[in-house]
Amino acid sequence: MLADGSKHVRDANKASAAELSKALSISDPTFEVLTSSELSKQLREDIFAMLETNMRDLYAQSSFGWDPTDKRKEMFDSLSRFVVARRPDTQALSGYTIFRFEHEHDSDMLYWSAFKLHHLEIQSVYHVLYSYELQVSNASRRSGLGRKLMDLLGSIGESWRMRKIMLTVFEANDVALAFYFALGFVVDETSPDTDDDADYKLLSMQLGKR
């Protein structure tokens, strides 16, 4: 995955939070789009604390391992964008999603011609909205918040002409897998085979067909 080289992706990465917000068909002030630089120190800590509460054990038991320093760098990268949900009564953080605009090339292909094996490099580029995190507080689970946040990501992706949403899910996270499959996600063609002993799946959902 790359964050440059594609005009669609470059344009999306230059967009301000206000420009990204225009894609959202909501007037609910409890939802807000923010860039990494716009997060307050307290909000950063709240975001990381929710991730740690929900996911630390899954990371620690996976091939990724749990490294809070590296995870913070990934989450709060300058290209990271956030859709934050707050409780209407207290403004406390109730959930969020972290995403980036990226692109991927089609896989290289091999084909036979005149009895010789040739290598064909495909030049097609997919413009992708990659969801790095979707986290909901314990108090807000089963409220439809996770689905709402993913719907908002879809609206942003379509507005900026991304081809699909992609994300990574641990094989051990049965609840998350069931949730994403119910939303219409499928195992992406770039996901590692089960024979590779990978403990995660890459999922994707085409945009413009929802």
pLDDT in tens, 166-181: 999 999 999 999 999 9
* Total Cβ atoms within 10 A of residue 120: 10
Residue 143, phi-psi category: left (phi > 0), alpha (psi -120 to 50), beta (remainder): alpha
- Each residue's pLDDT tens digit, 110-144: 433 343 333 344 445 678 999 999 999 998 998 99
Other Cβ atoms within 10 Å of 58 Cβ, number: 16
Q: Is the pLDDT of residue 160 over 60?
A: yes
pLDDT class for 30, splitting at 50, 70, 90? confident
Q: Where are the alpha helices (DSSP H) in 139-207?
A: 145-159, 174-183
The better pLDDT of the pair 151, 27 is held by 151
For the chain, list the domains and their CATH numbers: 7-206 (3.40.630.30)
Q: 141-147 long-range contacts, Cβ below 8 Å, gap at least 24?
A: 145/85, 145/94, 145/95, 146/95, 146/179, 147/183
Q: What is the sign, positive or negative, of the torsion defined by CA atoms of 16, 165, 160, 105?
A: positive
**Residue whose C-alpha is closest to residue 76's, from 29, 41, 110:** 41
Q: How is residue 118 written in tokens?
A: 């040739």
Q: Please give the model's pTM, rounded to 2 decimal places.
A: 0.85
pLDDT score recorded for residue 4:
53
CA 60, distance to chain mean position in Å, is: 20
Residue 200 has pLDDT above 70, yes or no: yes
Phi, psi of 50 (to 5 degrees): -65, -40
Structure token pair of residue 112: 């036979």
pLDDT at res. 110: 40
Amino acid residing at 150: M
Q: Whole-angstrom Cα distance, residue 117 to residue 95?
A: 51
Task: State residue 209's pLDDT score.
Answer: 61
75 pLDDT higher than 60: yes
What average pLDDT is seen over the chain?
A: 86
